[in-house]
Amino acid sequence: MYPHERSLVKRLEKRPFALLGVNSDTDLEATRRAIEKNGINWRSWWDGGGVGGPIATRWKITRWPTVYVIDAQGVIRFQDVRGPELDRAVDTLLAEIESAR
């Protein structure tokens, strides 16, 4: 999953797009090592350790990873899409933004 996400961030670096991550590892140092090891090039937060952190609780996350694609108005438009399906979802929303200009 990480290689695709890295390429998505790179491909869309000049576009109105942001990839955000929330990590539920129990150990902050393990999270830092994983970010470094996997070359995560997007903002990522540690959710306090464990699956019941404040972010996961507020967003009602029940499985990992969970992927939300949120539009420019803050509405979740796609959930749990990956690979080419994620690309299509993001490209669809970017096209909507560009056509509204």
Tally the domains of the chain: 1
Average pLDDT over residues 28-33: 92
| 13 in any annotated domain | yes
Residue 15 confidence (pLDDT) above 90: yes
93-97: list long-range contacts, CB under 8 Å, 24+ apart.
93/69, 94/12, 94/15, 94/16, 94/17, 96/71, 96/72, 97/16, 97/72
This prediction's pTM: 0.86
Residues 6 or more apart whose CB falls under 8 angstroms from that of 17 comprise: 90, 94
Vertex 76, ends 72 and 59: CA angle to 5°? 120
| 101 in any annotated domain | no
| 9 in any annotated domain | yes
| 16 in any annotated domain | yes
Domain that holds residue 10: 2-96
pLDDT tens digit sequence for 40-81: 999 999 999 888 899 999 998 988 889 999 999 999 999 999
pLDDT tens digit sequence for 5-14: 999 999 999 9
